[in-house]
């Protein structure tokens, strides 16, 4: 063995450093997201006898059931009786959700379309009288100040410094291994990400937002994605850097859009149409790459519409609480989902179809709470799946290969066995960025990306990437109970479900634990559509982050009623609500 | 909201499945990581390798920028078996064998980095092409040529072959076997060379014996047939005429213990190594044989199987006065020598093999070569023949030994002998 050179030592040192940095980044993000106190916001009070019950959300279920947000024990009250909800402008409404006893506001009956309720009004639920105390802005502001601020114990800037060190070490490894002509581009891409993340952080701090864990984890995985791109297609680094910037830009745009609940929820139908149009266009004008006809080329740019449809799908699947109790809305969503999944299956993109289907299960379960619906949906999907397998021989072939990849290493098991071999070759600490061989295999940087990361950065960092997604998932579930609106809870859980399903299908597919379906790994797989859609999905999760001063997607509580003259507002929205209400009644 | 957020727990179910799968993957990685890693990584270790033939012709080159084979198709096909391929379709082959030595694996470090290397083979790719073409793609078989003084393997071809650049999903059977090293065949009459050596060493009156053959004879009531009647022969002419009946009697005289002893001693039943490639072992009945079985075994039938490489070693030793210079194929390999047989035995056999040509095959078949050899046409049992021709040049400047095997048809001298002639003519011309 030759004596080790200085650079050999640097490589070994950087491998260990990368693992340490990534663990610190994940640990700090997890600790910040899960261990810090997550206090509820208080928006109003309900007076029930002498008791004063705080109203924590914008959408609250009133009823006798244990799962009601405001639980009222009295004769005549249904398990699920009424929904008390608030809009962005601070106006409250009460909806009767098919109760037996009915709902009245100061003697006026509130129908399914809802009736406005103001400070001091009496809400009469089947004879039980409740007082409604609306909080003034000042009071809300005072209560808000009592909540714990996100990032007060684990400083996000420090986590970001560790992430920057991680990226620096990664870049150094690339510079040691890459060809000289690409050094500039690779450095530029890494620098772009580092600048971008610090820019985002500074911007967030400037608008007084301190929750940066989700972005940190996303930037962590995006950096690994850049590393994979630098190994596999170093000539494309400019493009990749631009895609990262575009993704983060769209993340901010979608986040900003979601800030206004009414604006957001009113666009569900147009977005559903857009999603169907994209799928339709893809189905008829798409081109086929690697078996699945899921690519669309417009003006020389190829992209995968199904990736963007994911973003729309989550948007369409999310719904405010009052809508959840109208069965028709769920049926419409089921029909929409069936069209999406069928369209994807027709394109031959069974991986995406499966991702959509899992997401559908979670959304429909969250909306209906019905296990029966889930069982029914799964059985229908199994039947459809069997039909697909019999109709498309290559799908059947994939199933036949599943678990036996090593029996057919030149054809059907080609990608799996190479992924496994390269991943194992990396050991715990990897070969160093740019030193792998798997990246030269077709689709290595997308469908087999977990193998590339395992080979170059080692098992520990590859596991960190799974852990990062899991951390985001746990946080989304934790946040779901604190959201102002069901819209944000559902969207966030749906978004994280898509990420988790993709991780499972990508990792286990390429490792022969599941059939190989060619699904991308969130944030890491190369490909603009996938990267953009993942960042946009992150905006939904960001929307559920209701910790004090944490997320730019969530408006600060005390600033709401400052905007406009409440009186004027009341008239306008009263009319609109009335119209919407009528339409709603007709439908149901 | 409480109702809804309770249902959000269902997301954790999917999370649990992801973690469960990750756990299974990790366990499998610890169990099988070694096999996984070495399967492809030894070829993709980040190191680079170059393989040239003895005249500097590039045969294979791999580095991070890709893996390459020889430029022309004939060379790729003719050298496919000795080189193997980057995907590991052939079990043996230098590409995979080498790289095996320079890789190591542990779960902690993964595969460890290997060194770059450049090897020159003793092989002459030109001879491989000549051998490949003279067997022809419509026939199957193999050719081995070795310098018996130095141990350098000059030619190694096996057919059917394939072009490693283009993957044939349904290749003819035997495509991925290097018949020179990785298989053993029914030897037929070439086995008489071994019976002869055993007779020379163990039967004191062998030169006085006379054999009478009317085209067939009986050993303990079992008929042993010859192609033609050989009438009266002695030991020498029995070999040159390849008289089965005579050699059946010789084998019985030598006895089964001696036969087994010499077959083992000459290395026909063991595996050998050629620069890390393990060869196939041959077979000679180990259980008790009656005289008829022993007679058949003595003329290369019964359960006899020999690997062409073992036969090459044997004729090398005969040609080199009993001293075997162990064949190798990578230049710079330290040549090991071994006294495979007594010098006197070797020289006697040498003279007899030369006599085969002068007396029977004639030098016209091998113009200018001064060749000593032995042919064989073995019955495989499925109605087809293996035709063999083995021998060496009795030529100080061109000390080459060879083995030619053509499967499924043909006759030893007419078919295998003709291939041997073309290859040896080319060898003499080019070296």
User: Residues A98, A177: one domain?
Assistant: no
CB spacing of B29 vs A477 below 8 angstroms: no
Any A CB within 8 A of B111 CB: yes
User: In terms of pLDDT, which residue wins out, B88 or B126?
Assistant: B126
Burial tier of B214 (Cβ tally within 10 Å: 0-12, 13-18, 19+): exposed
Residue-wise pLDDT tens digits, B161-197: 888 888 777 888 888 888 998 899 999 899 999 999 9
| 3-class secondary-structure state, position B205 | coil
Task: Dump pLDDT digits (tens) for A169-207.
Answer: 999 999 998 888 999 999 999 999 999 999 999 999 998
Best of A427, A434, A451, A463 to disrupt the B interface (most B CBs within 10 Å) is A427
Taking CB atoms and an 8 Å limit, are A435 and B46 in contact across chains? yes
- CB contacts of A504 in chain B (<8 Å) are 14, 17-18, 21
Taking an 8 Å cut-off on Cβ atoms, the answer to whether A324 and B22 are in contact is no
* Range list of β-strands (E), A197-342: 287-289, 292-298, 301-303
Computed over every residue of chain A, the mean pLDDT equals 86
Q: Kindly state whether residues A99 and A216 are assigned to the same domain.
A: no
A103-105/A108-110 β-pairing: antiparallel
- Strongest mean pLDDT among A40-49, A538-547, B331-340: A538-547
**B66 interaction partners in chain A (CB closer than 8 Å):** 440
Among B8, B109, B110, beta carbon nearest to A480: B8
Q: Does B173 touch chain A (CB under 8 A)?
A: no
**Percent of chain A surpassing pLDDT 90:** 41
Query: Is residue A28 domain-resident?
Result: no
Residue A380 falls inside a structural domain: yes
Of B184, B262, B252, the C-alpha closest to B224 is: B252
Backbone angles phi, psi at B89, to 5 degrees: -70, -40
The answer to whether residue A571 is domain-embedded is no
Inter-chain CB proximity B3 and A497 less than 8 Å: no
Report if residue A429 sits inside a domain. Answer: yes
Task: Give the pLDDT confidence score for residue A562 in this predicted structure.
Answer: 45
Q: Name the residue in chain B with its Cα closest to that of A58.
A: B1
* DSSP code of residue B262: H
Q: Quote the pLDDT of residue B113.
A: 59
How far apart are the C-alpha atoms of A168 and A161, rounded to whole Å? 10
Out of A128, A145, A162, a domain closes at: A145
Q: Which chain B residue shows the shortest CA-CA distance from A477? A: B8
Q: What is the CATH number of the domain that holds A75?
A: 2.60.200.20
A503 contacts chain B (CB < 8 A): yes
pLDDT of residue B225: 85
Q: Which among A91, A110, A145 is the end of a domain?
A: A145
Q: Domain of residue A373: give its range.
A: 147-550
Same domain membership, residue A202 and residue A140 = no
Cβ <8 Å between B4 and A489: yes
Q: Is there a contact between A451 and A510 (Cβ–Cβ < 8 Å)? A: yes
Does A531 reside within a domain?
Answer: yes
pLDDT digits (tens, 9 = 90+) for A521-543: 999 998 889 999 999 999 999 99
Answer yes or no: is pLDDT of A574 > 70.
no
Mean pLDDT of chain B: 86
Q: Report yes or no: B106 at the A interface, CB cutoff 8 Å.
A: yes
Q: What is the pLDDT of residue B91?
A: 62
The residue with tokens 């064998």 is B97
Question: Does residue B160 have a cis peptide bond before it, meaning omega lies within 30 degrees of 0?
Answer: yes
If asked whether residues A259 and A116 sit together in one domain, one would say no
Q: Are residues A128 and A166 in the same domain?
A: no
Say if residues A472 and A440 touch (Cβ distance below 8 Å). Answer: no
Domains of chain B: 177-325+337-397 (3.40.710.10)
User: How distant is the Cα of A10 from the closest Cα of chain B, in angstroms?
Assistant: 15
Residues A128 and A169 placed together within one structural domain of the fold: no
Q: Say whether both A302 and A379 belong to one domain.
A: yes
Cross-chain CB nearest to A508 (options B21, B45, B89):
B21
Residue A315 lies in a domain: yes
Q: Which residues of B touch A424 (CB under 8 A)?
A: 29, 32-34, 36-37, 41, 105, 110
ipTM of the complex: 0.89
State whether A67 and B3 contact (CB < 8 Å). yes
Taking an 8 Å cut-off on Cβ atoms, the answer to whether A513 and B17 are in contact is no
Q: Are residues A208 and A310 in the same domain?
A: yes
Compare all CA atoms of chain B with the CA of A56 and give the residue at the minimum distance.
B1
pLDDT for A157 equals: 94
Measured at the CA of A421, the angle between CA A497 and CA A229, to 5 degrees, comes to: 60
Q: Which chain B positions have a beta carbon within 8 Å of A16's beta carbon?
A: none
Place of tokens 């995985």: A221
Residues of B in Cβ contact (< 8 Å) with A44: none
pLDDT digits (tens, 9 = 90+) for A87-125: 888 889 898 888 888 899 988 888 878 889 998 899 998
State the pLDDT at residue B383.
Answer: 78
Q: What is the pLDDT of residue B306?
A: 93
Question: Do the beta carbons of residue B212 and residue B281 sit within 8 Å?
Answer: no
**Which pLDDT value is given to residue B301?**
87
**pLDDT, position B22:** 96
Q: What is the mean pLDDT of residues A45-61?
A: 89
Smallest Cα distance from B379 to chain A, Å: 36
Is there a single domain that holds both residue A99 and residue A62?
A: yes
- Residues A173, A160 share a domain: yes
Q: Are residues A220 and A109 in the same domain?
A: no
Same domain, A102 and A228: no
- B153-159 and B140-147 strand pairing: antiparallel
Closest by CA to B282, choosing from B184, B206, B216, is B184
State whether A421 and B40 contact (CB < 8 Å). yes
Please indicate, yes or no, if residue A431 is contained in any of the structural domains: yes
* Structure tokens, A375: 């069982």
pLDDT of the residue at A246: 95
Both ends of chain A: CA-CA distance in Å?
A: 79
Report pLDDT digits (tens) over B388-427: 999 999 888 999 999 999 998 778 788 888 999 999 999 9
Calpha distance B119→B100 (Å, rounded): 15
Alpha carbon of A437: minimum distance to chain B alpha carbons (Å)? 6
Question: A324 and B4 in contact by Cβ < 8 A?
Answer: yes
The pLDDT value recorded for residue A570 is 45
Instruction: Tell me if A481 and B3 make a contact (CB, 8 A cut-off).
Output: no
Contacts of A477 in chain B (CB under 8 A): 8-9, 11-12
The reply to whether A250 falls in a domain is: yes
Q: Could A507 and B22 be called an inter-chain contact, meaning their C-beta atoms sit closer than 8 Å?
A: yes
What is the reported pLDDT for B43? 56
On whether any CB of chain B is under 8 Å from the CB of A68, the answer is yes
Q: Dump pLDDT digits (tens) for A239-264.
A: 999 999 999 999 999 999 999 888 88
CB atoms near residue B378 (< 10 Å): 26
Say how many domains are in chain A.
Answer: 2
Helix, coil or strand: residue A44: strand
Per-residue pLDDT, averaged over A413-429, amounts to 89
Q: Is the minimum CB–CB distance between A321 and chain B shorter than 8 Å?
A: yes
């Amino acid at each position: 063995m030759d004596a080790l050179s200085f650079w050999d030592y640097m490589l070994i040192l950087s491998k260990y450093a990368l693992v340490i940095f990534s663990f610190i980044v994940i640990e700090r993000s997890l600790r910040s997201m899960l261990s810090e106190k997550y206090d509820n916001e208080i928006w109003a009070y309900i007076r029930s006898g002498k008791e004063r019950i705080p109203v924590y959300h914008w959408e609250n279920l009133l009823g006798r059931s244990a799962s009601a947000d405001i639980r009222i024990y009295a004769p005549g009250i249904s398990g699920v009786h009424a929904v008390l909800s608030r809009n962005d402008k601070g106006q409250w409404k009460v909806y009767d959700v098919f109760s037996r006893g009915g709902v009245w506001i100061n003697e006026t009956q509130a129908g399914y379309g809802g009736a406005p309720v103001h400070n001091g009004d009496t809400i009469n639920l089947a004879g039980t009288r409740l007082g409604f105390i609306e909080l003034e802005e000042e009071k809300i502001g005072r209560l808000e100040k009592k909540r714990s601020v996100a990032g007060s114990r684990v400083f996000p800037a420090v986590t970001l410094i560790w992430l920057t060190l991680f990226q620096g070490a990664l870049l150094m490894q690339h510079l040691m291994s890459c060809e000289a002509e690409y050094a500039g581009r690779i450095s530029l891409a890494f620098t772009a990400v580092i600048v971008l993340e610090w820019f985002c952080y500074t911007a967030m701090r400037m608008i007084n937002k301190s929750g940066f864990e989700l972005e940190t984890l996303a930037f962590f995985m995006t950096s690994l994605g850049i590393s994979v791109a630098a190994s596999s297609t170093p000539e494309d680094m400019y493009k990749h850097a631009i895609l990262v910037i575009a993704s983060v830009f769209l993340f901010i745009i979608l986040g900003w859009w979601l800030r206004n609940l009414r604006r957001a929820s009113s666009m569900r139908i147009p977005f559903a149409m857009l999603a169907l149009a994209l799928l339709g266009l893809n189905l008829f004008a798409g081109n086929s790459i690697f078996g699945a006809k899921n690519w669309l080329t417009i003006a020389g740019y190829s992209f995968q519409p199904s990736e963007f449809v994911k973003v729309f799908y989550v948007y369409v699947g999310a719904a405010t609480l009052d809508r959840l109790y109208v069965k028709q809305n769920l049926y419409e969503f089921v029909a929409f989902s069936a069209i999406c999944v069928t369209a994807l299956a027709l394109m031959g993109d069974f991986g995406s179809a499966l991702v959509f289907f899992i997401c559908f299960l979670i959304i429909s379960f969250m909306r209906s709470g019905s296990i029966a619906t889930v069982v029914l949906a799964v059985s229908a999907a199994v039947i459809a799946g069997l039909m697909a397998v019999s109709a498309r021989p290559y799908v059947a072939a994939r199933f036949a290969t599943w678990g036996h990849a090593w029996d057919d290493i030149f054809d059907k098991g080609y990608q799996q066995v190479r992924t496994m071999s390269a991943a194992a070759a990396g050991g715990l600490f990897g070969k160093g960025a740019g030193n792998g061989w798997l990246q030269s295999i077709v689709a290595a940087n997308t469908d087999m990306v977990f193998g590339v990361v395992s080979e170059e950065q080692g098992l520990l960092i590859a596991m960190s990437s799974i852990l990062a997604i899991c951390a985001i998932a746990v946080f989304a579930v934790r946040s779901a109970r604190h959201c102002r609106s069901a819209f944000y809870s559902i969207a966030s859980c749906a978004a994280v479900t898509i990420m988790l399903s993709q991780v499972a299908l990508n990792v286990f597919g390429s490792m022969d634990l599941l059939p190989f379906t060619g699904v991308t790994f969130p944030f890491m797989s190369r490909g603009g559509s996938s990267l953009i859609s993942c960042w946009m999905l992150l905006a939904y999760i960001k929307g559920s982050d209701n910790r004090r001063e944490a997320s730019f997607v969530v408006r600060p509580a005390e600033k709401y009623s400052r905007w406009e003259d409440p009186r004027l507002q009341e008239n306008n929205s009263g009319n609109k609500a009335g119209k919407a209400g009528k339409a709603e009644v007709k439908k149901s | 909201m409480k109702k809804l957020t309770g249902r959000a727990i269902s997301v954790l179910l999917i999370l649990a499945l992801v973690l469960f799968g990750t756990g299974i993957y990790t366990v499998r990685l610890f169990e099988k990581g070694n096999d996984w890693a070495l399967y492809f990584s030894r070829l993709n270790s980040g190191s680079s390798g170059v393989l040239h033939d003895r005249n500097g012709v590039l045969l294979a080159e791999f580095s991070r920028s890709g893996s390459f084979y020889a430029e022309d198709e004939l060379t790729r096909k003719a050298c496919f078996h000795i080189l193997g391929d980057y995907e590991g379709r052939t079990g043996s082959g230098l590409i995979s064998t080498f790289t095996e030595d320079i890789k190591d694996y542990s779960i902690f470090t993964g595969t460890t980095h290997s060194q770059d290397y450049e090897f020159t083979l003793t092989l002459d790719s030109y001879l491989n092409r000549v051998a490949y073409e003279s067997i022809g793609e419509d026939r199957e078989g193999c050719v081995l040529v070795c310098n018996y003084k130095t141990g350098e393997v000059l030619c190694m071809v096996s057919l059917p072959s394939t072009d490693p650049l283009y993957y044939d999903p349904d290749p003819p059977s035997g495509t991925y076997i290097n018949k020179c090293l990785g298989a053993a065949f029914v030897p037929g009459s070439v086995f008489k060379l071994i019976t002869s050596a055993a007779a020379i060493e163990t039967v004191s009156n062998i030169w006085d014996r006379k054999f009478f053959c009317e085209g067939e004879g009986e050993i303990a009531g079992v008929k042993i047939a010859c192609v033609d009647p050989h009438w009266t022969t002695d030991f020498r002419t029995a070999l040159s005429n390849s008289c089965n009946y005579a050699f059946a009697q010789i084998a019985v005289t030598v006895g089964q213990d001696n036969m087994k002893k010499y077959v083992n001693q000459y290395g026909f039943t063991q595996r050998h190594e050629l620069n890390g490639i393990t060869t196939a072992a041959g077979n000679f009945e180990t259980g008790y044989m009656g005289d008829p079985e022993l007679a058949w075994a003595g003329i290369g039938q019964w359960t006899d199987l020999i690997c062409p490489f073992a036969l090459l070693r044997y004729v090398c030793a005969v040609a080199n006065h009993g001293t075997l210079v162990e064949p190798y194929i990578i230049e710079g390999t330290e040549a090991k020598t071994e006294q495979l047989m007594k010098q006197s035995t070797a020289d006697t056999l040498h003279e007899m093999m030369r006599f085969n040509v002068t007396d029977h095959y004639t030098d016209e078949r091998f113009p200018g070569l001064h060749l000593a050899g032995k042919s064989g046409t073995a019955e495989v049992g499925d109605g087809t023949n293996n035709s063999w021709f083995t021998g060496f040049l009795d030529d100080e400047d061109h000390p080459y030994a060879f083995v030619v095997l053509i499967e499924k048809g043909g006759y030893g001298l007419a078919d295998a002998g003709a291939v041997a002639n073309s290859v040896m003519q080319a060898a003499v011309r080019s070296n």
